[in-house]
Amino acid sequence: MRATMIYGAGDVRLENVPDAHIKESTDAVIRITHASICGSDLWPYRGYGEYPDNGRPMGHEAIGVVEAIGTDVHHIKVGDVVAMPFAFSDGTCVHCLEGVHTSCVHGGFFGNPEVGGAQAEALRIPQADGTLVPLPGGRDKALMPSLLTLTDVMATGHHAAVTARVSPGKIVAVVGDGAVGLCGVIAARRLGAEEIIIMGRHPGRIALAKEFGATNVVSERDDAAIEHVRELTGGYGAHAVLECVGTDSSMQTALHIARPGGAIGRVGAPHGVNIPAADPTFYSNLTISGGPAPVRAYIESLIPDVMEGKIQPGRVFDRVISLNDIADGYRAMDQREAIKVMIEF
């Protein structure tokens, strides 16, 4: 089968690899129908991370059709259309029961030599019963992009909003106008935010953020951005800040636009981030929360909103490619030609 591999910065290749197959009795194999490129895939594309000699399989967001199941898989059956969260999890351990599926004791992440990646024709799914989510309306083509976002980006935006404690009446700031930030806007609105400030400067993304519910735009950077958010919030800052980037600059901005007692929900994998221990974090009673989104904890509550058309996070996909064009998909996202790329099989 064909699978996407990365060998170094900018070096994405579509290669022939052995077919995905059942290894453990709790596995399933899915035939991928829709996958996508994640903002986090750009970190290795830009030279951050490790590159195994035989390449690193890429991709962790997908919808597919179950092709085979192990003998201990009981809740998923061959032929099911399923969503695959970016982490696999058993659904039964203490951490899963507490809603932290990304820390499952039998869990792990897709997109590495051990488990394989989803930018491929097929994929082995460990802990299939716990991991996979059947999609009842999963053959409605129009819904596919939005359902696909629930495997990562929309659930991640939701996690940012939840961990930043967005609730009705709150003033929310979203740092980052990438696909996660845009989904953060959707999530903040869905949770009842009164004002949503999107921080970014790409015209097309900002326009989409407004359609998703952003009420204000801050296009400055760093100190000027902090000043502008303060102006928009009566000098007090935002109650909830969704940090959807993961750089030190974005984190410092997030910390300084939060009002005393406010919360920062961070979902951008941190790269070179420094969290000051005293000021403003401690002395302003800030709460810093977030991490890899426990997609599996959220997805069942988000599916109905997609099915009913209440949210349309699939609009973050502004380019659709075939697997053949995967390398160009990475290039387009890296150069910000595309917000987010979907791969149709």
CA distance 257 to 286: 11
CA distance 1 to 172: 45
Cβ 211 to its own copies shortest distance, Å: 30
| Interface pattern 29-68 for its own copies (x via CB under 8 A) | ----------------------------------------
Residue 176's Cβ-side half-sphere holds a number of Cα atoms within 13 Å equal to 29
Cβ 321 to its own copies shortest distance, Å: 31
CA distance 19 to 32: 13
Cβ 201 to its own copies shortest distance, Å: 25
Cβ 281 to its own copies shortest distance, Å: 8
In the list 36, 102, 127, 253, the residue contacting its own copies (rule: CB under 8 A) is 102
Number of residues that bind its own copies (CB under 8 A): 37
Q: Report the run of H or E that residue 218 belongs to, with start and end.
A: strand 216-218
Cβ 15 to its own copies shortest distance, Å: 29
Distances, alpha carbon 241 to alpha carbons 31, 150, 254, in Å = 38, 21, 6
| Interface pattern 221-260 for its own copies (x via CB under 8 A) | -------------x-x--------------x-------xx
In the list 227, 291, 305, 344, the residue contacting its own copies (rule: CB under 8 A) is 291
DSSP string, 43-96: HHHTT-S---TT-EE----EEEEEEEE-TT--S--TT-EEEE-SEE--S-SHHH
By CB under 8 A, is residue 100 in contact with its own copies?
yes
> Based on CB atoms, which residue is closest to its own copies, 266 or 296?
266
| Interface pattern 257-286 for its own copies (x via CB under 8 A) | --xxx-x--x--xx--xxxxxx--xxxxxx
**Which residues in 75-94 contact its own copies (CB under 8 A)?**
94
CA distance 137 to 161: 26
Q: Judging by beta carbons within 10 Å of its beta carbon (0-12, 13-18, 19+), is residue 334 exposed, middle or buried?
A: middle
> Based on CB atoms, which residue is closest to its own copies, 205 or 259?
259
DSSP helix/strand/coil, 319: strand
Nearest by Cα to 182 from 195, 200, 170, 162: 200
Q: Judging by beta carbons within 10 Å of its beta carbon (0-12, 13-18, 19+), is residue 303 exposed, middle or buried?
A: buried
Cβ 333 to its own copies shortest distance, Å: 22
> Based on CB atoms, which residue is closest to its own copies, 9 or 269?
269
> Based on CB atoms, which residue is closest to its own copies, 35 or 258?
258
Cβ 259 to its own copies shortest distance, Å: 7
CA distance 283 to 236: 15
Cβ 252 to its own copies shortest distance, Å: 11
| Site residues, its own copies (CB under 8 A) | 94-95, 98-100, 102-103, 163, 234, 236, 251, 259-261, 263, 266, 269-270, 273-278, 281-292, 294
